[in-house]
């Protein structure tokens, strides 16, 4: 069948919204009509070449939709089901999966670099030219073929804009706090970067019962949103007095520092504002080839723990529905993350707005024909 998709033909080129060919779902695969897709910084890293990605490709990895058709042997979803898409269709059988650490799945890590679906197949093409899948999903399109394990069924009536964001940013930020760091009630927390992931980490810290939550973010509108979503202090990291203000506020250093932006310089800063015995969690992935530098003697004497978290160390099938239930109960105001909505044809504008920080989270609605603005 034919569908519309945003294709990245080469690094640093604008996305090309084109009619593409989508093959039928193979065994274990599902065709999803994409309802909403968040615009994530990881997609931008593919465009800018910061991370090497097989091209040409249809980008997008933060989506929700409705199952339209299923291939042979699919048992967990049926046509008509509303789903959130996980870009981590873990194999379930490797050593990491057996240990319950799905984000470290050896199979997924290996296969994702190929730009195929998890089974090795390709279902997208344009005039006979093969297009790569991105993060197993390719949600900047009206339809996507995905692996059954990427589909997590949701109750009918779930807000598909919010569900899309749960597919990446929200789960990554909240999971960093509750799965990886396991923040204790009464803790002090700092979050560096208040985009979709950082704001989600702030909400996660509130959910975990942190006493103080400091947001460090250069864009004023995002600092204001951070305060609305549970931060107790918001600082501009470019202010030379910010580090001392944070140390004073946390009485000598925070228990947990989360670095949502993928900048190695922020990891050094986060290390310096974390108290001895505290934990620094890197969430945003720094550029290919970058190296983190830390003060050697203090690393030993302070016993600080430095760790990363990939996809919020999530078990998507458990964590995503749980996060959406908490949202439905009014305990996570995730709808405030949904910024301006864009038509598929406006995808390049959505990226420009994401990079300038105008929108909390830009959301593509690939079926909308008119002006998708929702305030
Ligand atoms: Zn993402
Ligand atoms: Zn595995």
Q: Give me ligand 1 centre to Cα 38, in Å.
A: 8
Lowest pLDDT segment from 53-57, 199-203, 256-260, 283-287: 283-287
pLDDT digits (tens, 9 = 90+) for 166-183: 999 999 999 999 999 999
- Between the CA of 122 and the centroid of ligand 2 the distance, in Å, is 21
Give the pLDDT confidence of 65-77 residue by residue, as tens digits. 999 999 999 999 9
CA of 111 to the centre of ligand 2 (A): 11
Q: What is the pLDDT of residue 370?
A: 60
Helix (H, G, I), strand (E, B) or coil at 358: coil
- Residue 372 pLDDT more than 70? no
- The pLDDT value given to residue 197: 96
pLDDT by residue (tens digit) across 126-164?
Answer: 999 999 999 999 999 999 999 999 999 999 899 999 999
Nearest listed ligand to the Cα of residue 39: 1
What is the pLDDT confidence band of residue 187, given thresholds at 50, 70 and 90?
Answer: very high
Compute the C-alpha angle 56/60/64, nearest 5°: 145
Which pLDDT band, with edges at 50, 70 and 90, does 360 fall under? confident
> If you measure from the C-alpha of residue 310 to the centroid of ligand 2, how many angstroms do you get, rounded to a whole number?
14
User: What gap in Å lies between CA 194 and CA 304, rounded to an integer?
Assistant: 23
Residue 101: nearest ligand to its CA? 2
Categorize the per-residue pLDDT at 374 as very low, low, confident or very high, splitting at 50, 70 and 90.
very low
Distance 316 CA to ligand 2 centre (A): 13
Q: Calculate mean pLDDT across residues 180-190.
A: 98
Q: What ligand is nearest to the CA atom of residue 149? A: 2
Q: How far is the CA of 207 from the centre of ligand 2 (A)?
A: 29
> What digits encode the pLDDT tens for the residues 306-355?
999 999 999 999 999 999 999 999 999 999 999 999 999 999 999 999 88
Query: Rounded mean pLDDT of 225-248?
Result: 96
Q: What is the mean pLDDT of the chain?
A: 95
**249 Cα–ligand 1 center, Å:** 31
**Residue 296 Cα to ligand 1 middle (Å):** 32
Cα of 103 vs centre of ligand 1, distance in Å, is 14
What is the CA(247)–ligand 1 centre distance, in A?
Answer: 31
The CA 264 to ligand 2 mean position distance, Å, reads: 28
Q: Rg of the chain's alpha carbons, rounded to an integer?
A: 20
Give a three-class secondary structure readout of 311-356.
HHHCCHHHHHHHHHHHHHCCCCCHHHHCCCEECHHHHHHHHHHHHH
Q: How far is the CA of 62 from the centre of ligand 1 (A)?
A: 6
Closest ligand to the CA of 90:
2
> pLDDT above 70 covers what percent of the chain?
98
Of the ligands numbered here, which is closest to the C-alpha atom of 102? 2
Whether 90 contacts 102, CB under 8 Å: yes
Task: Decide if 77 contacts 83 (C-beta within 8 A).
Answer: yes
CB contact at 8 A, 337 and 163: no
pLDDT value of residue 371: 52
Which ligand has an atom closest to residue 196 CA? 1
CA angle in degrees (0–180, nearest 5) for 148-150-156: 85
Residue 375: the pLDDT is 33
Ligand nearest to the CA of 61: 1
Residue of 373 and 124 predicted with greater confidence: 124
**What is the average per-residue pLDDT within 186-190?**
98
9, 11, 92, 138, 374 from 54: Cα distances, Å: 10, 10, 26, 13, 34
**Res 216: pLDDT:** 98
- Give Cα 167 to chain centroid, integer Å: 7
> How far is the centre of ligand 1, averaged over its atoms, from the C-alpha of 214 (Å)?
23
Q: How far is the CA of 96 from the centre of ligand 2 (A)?
A: 6
Q: How many CB atoms lie within 10 A of CB 281?
A: 26
Other C-beta atoms closer than 10 Å to the C-beta of 69 total: 17
pLDDT score for 122: 97
What is the Å distance from ligand 2's center to 265 Cα?
Answer: 32
Assess whether pLDDT exceeds 60 at residue 373.
no
C-beta of residue 147 within 8 angstroms of C-beta of residue 135: no
Q: Are strands 29-38 and 363-364 parallel, antiparallel or unpaired?
A: antiparallel
CA geometry: angle at 177 spanning 176 and 180, to 5°?
Answer: 55
Q: Is the pTM of this model over 0.85?
A: yes
Ligand 1 centroid–CA 298 distance in Å is 33
CA of 306 to the centre of ligand 2 (A): 24
Q: What is the mean pLDDT of residues 217-225?
A: 95
């Amino acid at each position: 069948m034919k569908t519309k998709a945003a294709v990245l033909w080469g690094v640093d080129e604008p996305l090309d919204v084109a009619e593409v060919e989508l093959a039928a779902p193979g065994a274990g695969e599902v065709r999803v009509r994409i309802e909403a897709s968040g615009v994530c910084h990881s997609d931008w890293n593919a465009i800018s070449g910061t991370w090497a990605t097989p091209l040409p490709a249809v980008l997008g990895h933060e989506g929700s939709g409705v199952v339209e058709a299923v291939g042979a042997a699919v048992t967990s979803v049926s046509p008509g089901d509303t789903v959130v898409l996980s870009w981590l269709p873990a194999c379930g059988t490797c050593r990491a999966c057996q240990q319950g650490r799905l984000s470290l799945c050896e199979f997924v890590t290996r296969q994702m670099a190929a730009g195929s679906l998890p089974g090795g197949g390709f279902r997208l093409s344009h005039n006979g030219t093969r297009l790569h899948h991105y993060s197993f999903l390719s949600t900047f399109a009206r339809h996507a073929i995905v692996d059954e394990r990427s589909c997590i069924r949701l109750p009918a009536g779930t807000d598909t804009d919010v569900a899309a964001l749960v597919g990446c940013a929200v789960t990554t930020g909240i999971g960093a706090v509750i799965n990886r760091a396991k923040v204790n009630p009464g803790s002090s927390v700092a979050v560096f970067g208040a985009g979709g992931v950082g704001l989600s980490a702030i909400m996660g810290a509130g959910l975990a019962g942190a006493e103080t939550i400091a947001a460090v973010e250069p864009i004023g509108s995002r600092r204001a949103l951070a305060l609305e979503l549970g931060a107790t202090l918001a600082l501009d990291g470019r202010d030379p007095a910010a580090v001392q203000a944070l140390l004073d506020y946390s009485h000598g250093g925070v228990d947990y520092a989360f670095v949502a932006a993928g900048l190695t310089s922020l990891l050094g800063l986060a290390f310096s504002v974390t108290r001895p015995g505290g934990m620094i969690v890197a969430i945003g992935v720094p550029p290919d080839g970058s190296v983190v530098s830390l003060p050697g003697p203090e690393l030993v004497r302070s016993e600080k723990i430095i760790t990363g978290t990939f996809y919020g160390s999530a078990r998507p099938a458990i964590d995503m529905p749980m996060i959406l239930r908490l949202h439905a109960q009014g305990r996570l105001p995730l709808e405030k993350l949904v910024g301006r909505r864009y038509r598929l044809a406006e995808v390049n504008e959505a990226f420009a707005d994401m990079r300038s920080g105008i929108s909390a989270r830009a959301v593509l609605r690939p079926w909308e024909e008119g002006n998708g603005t929702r305030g």
